Structure 1
Amino acid sequence: MKKISLILGLFALLGWMSSCDKGFDQLNVNPTAATALNPVFTFNNAISNTSFPASTLIFEEAIVQQMFSPNSGITQGGNFNVDNRGSAGANAPLWQRYYRDNLRYLVDGIAKTKNDAARTNLYNMMRILKAYVAMVLTDTYGDVPYSEAGLGYLSANVMPKYDTQESIYNDVIKELTEATAALDATKPTEAGEIMFGGDIAKWKKTGYSIMLRAGMRLSKVNPTLAQATVQKAVAGGLMQSNADNFVVRENANYQNPIGTTLNSTEAANYYLTGAFVTYLKTTSDPRLMSIAVRYVGAKSGPEQTAAKANRDPAVQIGMPLGYDNGTILARATADGLASFYDYSQLDRTRMGYFTAPCFLVTYAQTQLLLAEAAQRTWTTGNATDFYNAGVTAHMKQLGDYDATSLVSDANIATYLQKNPYAAANGLELINNQYWIASFLNGPEVFANFRRSGFPTLTPNPYPGKEIKGNFINRLSYPDSEQSVNAVKRQEAVARQGPDNLDTHVWWDKQ
């Protein structure tokens, strides 16, 4: 009898437990939690992470001799013509930011919207941004993961192959051609995206302006494809004013990485170069007042106070290359300065502020590329007009940093009168202006310097350089790739050339 009672009790307990299980899964699911992420949110995350990391101060800005630090350690790179490898090295942040915080979101978003007729515009916007990101990566490093990049979650491919730069450019041009043409203002326009708020016309002009840049990048290695791409971009419709600029708008929550660095740990460590300041002074360029500040008489970082700040172009003195933090002291004395803290810097209260906008592709750059295309007879129009429009646009663009940075119409007219376009040395004049108009866009100014050969800079004379030539030609792959993707990385090295600063990328034909 006791046995029967025990069995009956056990069944009752099991029955009670079974009834408790009913609805258990619903009770343990948060009813307010998102079950799917709107791909426009990941797109916005990718956009905000397209701004350039502070490492561009270490390499790109120093290579093109606009701004550099005389210090060694983590800040050494283009200032001494040495590599800076390692997972935390100066050659790694752009790779990490653009793959981890940008491209993987774009690849995921593209996959989620590809077959969604209601999100066709978002799909094509993401293709355009991905093409831009791919150009920055391949221009910087050469052969890089592209066709298999960002597929770790979607297809468990955690060791993507490195594509050749030629194949990347071919696909980028294809993607820009298809995606830009497919944008359609009669379909949902994605007002939630933070770049243009769903303005399809601006996205179209951005896509074709990036295509123009891609075409001009091939001017040495494949002039025929370059010309055809340029003509396709022009026919599609390019940026028409500064209102069309492709720019990341920073704020207190999403700060400009360069501005944040210059207003914190490295505030007293970066200086405008003698080459950059001298060129602007020699040509009486009014932009120097918008760019530079000198803390006259400063003998230390703490002495770089507002009371000592002088923005008068006449007093600006750029720091000469070829010195480190030990040898620059004597040079500063020879230059009549109180210390090396007395040299000119980027004004970190305006262009170098932590909420300063980050310009990716601009109307000014686009007009200057058109000027070169016209000079090469690859497009119709007057090179002089494009040149003047490009210079004017950049001087006006400076007002986007701060109202006091805007160059007046009178000063623009005076500058163009003193520095007129001349076809005889047109390519040099155009690309010298592109050098200035791309200031703080490290990847672009570095790429165009290699492509065009302008401006004509004196090689950095710092002793102990690691390069064989006069200038760095590419950045090396981060050491982390040797650990996580060694086989595919080695395939790229065997094909492209040694993984060092001397190897040329494909379009940088010698």
Structure 2
Amino acid sequence: MKKLIYIIGCLALLSSGMLTSCKKGFDTLNTDPNSTQNALPQQLLAPALVNTMSANLSRNRSFNNELMQITVDMNDAEGKVFRYDFRSSWSDYLYTQWYLNITNFKELYKTASDSLTRNRSYQGISLICQSWVYSLLTDTYGDMPYSQAIMGKDSAIYHPVFDRQKDIYLDMFKQLDSANSLLSKNDAIPAGSDPVYNGDVAKWRKFGNSLYLRLLLRISGKAEVADLCKAKIKDIVETSAAQYPIMTNTGESAILRWTGVGPYTSPLLGVREQDFRSPAIASFFIDHLAAWNDPRIDIPTYGSNGYNRWAIIPYSGMFVGVPSGYSPGTGVPKKTYFNSYVAGNTAPSLMNDPMTGMIMNYPELCFILAECASKGWISGNAATYYNNGVLYSIQQWVPKFTDVNTYLTAADMQWSDAVSLDDKMEKIHIQKYYALFLTDLQQWIEYRRTGHPILPKGAGLKNDGVMPARMPYPVFVQSTNPANYKDVISKQGPDLISTQVWWQKP
């Protein structure tokens, strides 16, 4: 399998113009008895999911959490993400890993389409996963190789064009419609091949349609596609609900649960213990939870061992954070932090928590529906969707939690139909912010879309105090695909963190 994944990865790099030298020796690769042409679909899904999630969780910790004021990597050096200051080298890892694994998911589709191994469920799952990863790529970088990506092997396209983000989104919608149709056939897949739903095809279908709603909402603010998005949201949720099943409970959340056995080991365990404890928790993240007496950090809710569900170590008996974006040289002391894992110790840590493999959870869907109902796009009750989002966001981590009304009243976070839409959006998105904890870069992406929740601005922020709008393209793209790189920059704008992607632009 290591050889298999290496070959697939080499093909991904080839088609994206990353390693042009890999073209040499293609005949040998194409006749290798261990190559993907002889793999079965059930051999391809799990490695692609694990590798994608490992990349997502790594950058969730070091990039998303710093930008979105969950943690503060306290240091006065240049290039600190929490100060909106990061080097272009940050771009390489996700770009490379995501394209590597899109290649794996495409190979899954191809293998599942073969007459001898045809399986429509694997085909549908592949299309969902491709759309999931492509959405991460385009939301992170902007216009991307899409229509000509991963075509080095079959079409000898080693310098793919960059498709417009709008066109990428519209094609992803087609792929998700196709996935819904394929999964409706309910072809069986082995439970052992699927680390997310253990072979439950119906749950994959619900995840695909829930992802569809996430992506429709993401671009719904663009006038040129607004009507299309609103109509399709209503179609999925109401008009054709029977044909578009969506998630209905936390048991249907898309989570790759790390078992600690074999390949299903959290990548966070690869972080040194002292490095995991090093970042302080930001004031914004911890102050709300403390003020709300939130069960996820309320010590008694975890059990008699005295630990809280998110394994947060208090400071002098209190949950106290560090202001993000503080000016260098101000000497802010480190306070609360996330506990690390120590072998043989029963103390909890997110490093080995099975729940950290978040792809998309049911509470996020509830908040999507709450926003759509608040805007009048669907007829459901916004308050109900909002309350359910809060309830299941907490229940995802603290299963015994039930009294959401008491919680919201005590926190002064109860729903009100009387306030402005902007106030409703702030309420939805501050709760959604916690529901998206550990979910790749979704907090950052949603903040860029909505401006919510409102984050405090420290005096030490770079980039004129404006949240970075994207990652620049990796430096190697400029040298391996220069003509198309120049073309995309001329159309999208300067290759800077301040250049907005299509769906952000007015």
Are residue 457 (structure 1) and residue 455 (structure 2) matched? yes
Residue 185 of structure 1 contacts residue 200 of structure 1 at CA under 8 Å; is this kept in 2? Answer: no
> Match for 2:297 among 276, 288, 294?
288
Q: Name the CA distance, whole Å, in 2 between partners of 1:376 and 1:181.
A: 29
Who is 1:207 aligned against?
208
Unaligned stretches of 5+ residues in structure 1:
1-28, 294-307, 333-339, 400-405
Who is 1:67 aligned against?
71
Who is 1:84 aligned against?
87
Write the letter of the residue equivalent to 1:243.
Answer: G
Are residue 319 (structure 1) and residue 322 (structure 2) matched? yes
C-alpha distance 257-265 of structure 1, shift in aligned 2 (>3 A): farther
Q: Name the CA distance, whole Å, in 1 between partners of 2:337 and 2:99.
A: 31
> Match for 2:252 among 244, 251, 262?
244
Who is 2:277 aligned against?
268
C-alpha distance 491-291 of structure 1, shift in aligned 2 (>3 A): farther
Are residue 421 (structure 1) and residue 415 (structure 2) matched? yes
How far is 1:269 from its partner? 2.3
DSSP 3-state at the match of 1:477: coil
Who is 1:97 aligned against?
97
> Match for 1:478 among 458, 474, 478?
474
C-alpha distance 409-311 of structure 1, shift in aligned 2 (>3 A): farther
Q: Name the CA distance, whole Å, in 2 between partners of 1:291 and 1:491.
A: 57
Q: Name the CA distance, whole Å, in 1 between partners of 2:183 and 2:118.
A: 12
Who is 1:50 aligned against?
52
Residue 291 of structure 1 contacts residue 346 of structure 1 at CA under 8 Å; is this kept in 2? Answer: no
* Residues 221-259 of structure 1, C-alpha deviations (whole Å, 9 max, x = no match): 132122123123322121011110111122433433345
DSSP 3-state at the match of 2:332: helix
Q: Name the CA distance, whole Å, in 2 between partners of 1:348 and 1:232.
A: 45
How far is 1:181 from its partner? 2.2
Q: Name the CA distance, whole Å, in 1 between partners of 2:433 and 2:58.
A: 19
How far is 1:319 from its partner? 1.3
Residue 322 of structure 2 contacts residue 332 of structure 2 at CA under 8 Å; is this kept in 1? Answer: no
Who is 2:489 aligned against?
493
C-alpha distance 32-494 of structure 1, shift in aligned 2 (>3 A): closer
TM-score by length of 1: 0.79
Who is 1:110 aligned against?
109
Q: Name the CA distance, whole Å, in 1 between partners of 2:131 and 2:300.
A: 30
How far is 1:413 from its partner? 4.1
Task: Compute the RMSD of aligned alpha carbons.
Answer: 3.0
Residue 57 of structure 2 contacts residue 439 of structure 2 at CA under 8 Å; is this kept in 1? Answer: no
Q: Name the CA distance, whole Å, in 2 between partners of 1:384 and 1:312.
A: 36
TM-score by length of 2: 0.80
Q: Name the CA distance, whole Å, in 1 between partners of 2:351 and 2:160.
A: 37
* Residues 123-175 of structure 1, C-alpha deviations (whole Å, 9 max, x = no match): 11100111111111111111111222222333332222211110011011111
Write the letter of the residue equivalent to 1:40.
Answer: Q
Q: Following TM superposition, where does structure 1 have runs of at least 4 consecutive aligned residues deviating by more than 4 angstroms? A: 29-35, 290-293, 308-314
* Residues 460-482 of structure 1, C-alpha deviations (whole Å, 9 max, x = no match): 4215x2x2452111111111222
Are residue 278 (structure 1) and residue 287 (structure 2) matched? yes
Q: Name the CA distance, whole Å, in 1 between partners of 2:439 and 2:486.
A: 30
Write the letter of the residue equivalent to 1:242.
Answer: T
How far is 1:407 from its partner? 5.8
How far is 1:505 from its partner? 0.9
Residue 147 of structure 1 contacts residue 163 of structure 1 at CA under 8 Å; is this kept in 2? Answer: yes
Residue 73 of structure 2 contacts residue 80 of structure 2 at CA under 8 Å; is this kept in 1? Answer: no
Who is 2:354 aligned against?
356
Who is 2:143 aligned against?
143
Residue 436 of structure 2 contacts residue 442 of structure 2 at CA under 8 Å; is this kept in 1? Answer: yes
Bigger shift: residues 370-379 or 116-125: 116-125
* Residues 161-205 of structure 1, C-alpha deviations (whole Å, 9 max, x = no match): 211110011011111112112213453445433322321210111
Who is 1:344 aligned against?
336
Q: Name the CA distance, whole Å, in 2 between partners of 1:166 and 1:30.
A: 39
Q: Name the CA distance, whole Å, in 1 between partners of 2:141 and 2:392.
A: 30
Write the letter of the residue equivalent to 2:416.
Answer: A
Q: Name the CA distance, whole Å, in 2 between partners of 1:313 and 1:238.
A: 44
Q: Name the CA distance, whole Å, in 2 between partners of 1:374 and 1:472.
A: 29
Q: Name the CA distance, whole Å, in 1 between partners of 2:136 and 2:301.
A: 27
DSSP 3-state at the match of 2:350: coil
Residue 430 of structure 2 contacts residue 453 of structure 2 at CA under 8 Å; is this kept in 1? Answer: yes
Residue 363 of structure 2 contacts residue 388 of structure 2 at CA under 8 Å; is this kept in 1? Answer: yes
C-alpha distance 30-481 of structure 1, shift in aligned 2 (>3 A): closer
Q: Which has the larger radius of gyration?
A: 1
Write the letter of the residue equivalent to 1:485.
Answer: N
Who is 1:331 aligned against?
332
Write the letter of the residue equivalent to 1:79.
Answer: F
C-alpha distance 200-127 of structure 1, shift in aligned 2 (>3 A): same
Q: Name the CA distance, whole Å, in 2 between partners of 1:360 and 1:258.
A: 16
User: Number of matched residues?
Assistant: 442
Unaligned stretches of 5+ residues in structure 2:
1-30, 303-310, 342-347
Q: Name the CA distance, whole Å, in 2 between partners of 1:169 and 1:382.
A: 28
Write the letter of the residue equivalent to 1:170.
Answer: L
Q: Name the CA distance, whole Å, in 2 between partners of 1:291 and 1:156.
A: 60
Residue 118 of structure 1 contacts residue 187 of structure 1 at CA under 8 Å; is this kept in 2? Answer: no
Who is 1:10 aligned against?
none
Residue 98 of structure 2 contacts residue 133 of structure 2 at CA under 8 Å; is this kept in 1? Answer: yes
